Amino acid sequence: MLLKSLRLGQLQSRRTITKVAPAANNPQSGLTGAKNIKSDVASLSDQVRLLMRRVPYPVAIITATEPNGPADKAFRGMTVSSFNTVTLSPEPVISFNVRRPSETLSALQSSKRFLVHLLAPRQATATLARDFSKGNHNLSLLEGKSDYEFVAHEHTLRDNEAPGRPLPLLRRKQDATSTGLEDFPFVLECQLHPQSIQVQDHTIVVGTVVRALSGELLSLDSETKAADLCLTYANTHFWEMGHEI
């Protein structure tokens, strides 16, 4: 697929790389990453970071509700570029990575539920994703300066689960001709899976999908076109997918 850049800068705060350690000559290998056996951890991390910039990732905004404290300040949100499905059977399970500490991670771990918003590839949604990558204290949305807003979404109850605070559903502020949901092709309502993995300064969050919210009725015969593909992130920029190869 070709990619069209929506240039807004970095999704997450990253250390600027000014120099990558050169690899030692090794005539037996054509892979530069394997040439320098004595390469230290920092230089190897830099090399992997630069290489992985070439890989497009889906962009998702995760929202959750802090179950304690003032209700009018309980909504949390963050942008992730590690969203993926783990399995679809016997029920759909998804995962994503979160760098600790994180207020949104704390909220979803406490409440055991969260929403995953996938974004349409537009300049406005790229700006929104960048905004949510800066942390909850810097959200222009919470200051009323954004084109988007949170609306309360009553979560699905399962297995005699007690009702809790509503989840924060994102939508564009409505006008006379809009539902406010056009920028979010679909939203997944998830219940936190009992298993999670701690890896150094990150947590791998696993969630079971209990409901899929979409503005259109899908069928097994539905055809996905290039215009239907969601916002992606690569090489420190947001991208719109292009033509099929």
Q: What is the pLDDT of residue 13?
A: 37
Q: What is the pLDDT of residue 173?
A: 86
Q: What is the pLDDT of residue 216?
A: 65
SS (H, E, C) 3-64: EEEECCCCCCCCCCCCCCCCCCCCCCCCCHHHCCCCCCHHHHHHHHHHHHCCCCEECEEEEE
What ranges in 53-195 are assigned the alpha helix state H? 103-111, 123-132
Q: What is the pLDDT of residue 29?
A: 45
Q: What is the pLDDT of residue 16?
A: 32
Q: What is the pLDDT of residue 39?
A: 53
Q: Strand pairing partners for 150?
A: 170
How far is C-alpha 206 from the geometric centre of its chain's CA atoms? 13
d(CA 61, CA 77): 7
Residuewise pLDDT in 10s, the chain (245 residues): 555 666 554 454 333 333 334 444 444 445 555 555 555 666 998 999 999 999 999 999 999 999 998 888 899 999 999 999 999 999 999 999 999 999 999 999 999 999 999 999 999 999 999 999 988 877 778 777 888 999 999 888 877 777 789 999 999 887 656 666 789 999 999 999 988 899 999 999 999 999 998 866 566 667 787 778 999 999 999 999 887 88
Q: What is the pLDDT of residue 52?
A: 94
Q: What is the pLDDT of residue 215?
A: 65
How many CA atoms does the CB half-sphere of 183 hold within 13 Å? Answer: 22
Q: Do 85 and 187 touch, CB atoms closer than 8 A?
A: no
Question: What residues contact residue 233 under an 8 Å CB cut-off, 6+ apart?
Answer: 11, 56, 57, 58, 59, 81, 129, 239
Q: What is the pLDDT of residue 28?
A: 46
The answer to whether the predicted template modeling score (pTM) of the entire model surpasses 0.85 is no
> Dihedral sign, CA of 19, 40, 202, 84?
positive
With H, G, I as helix, E, B as strand and everything else as coil, classify residue 111.
helix
- CATH topology for 59-216+228-240 is Pnp Oxidase; Chain A (2.30.110)
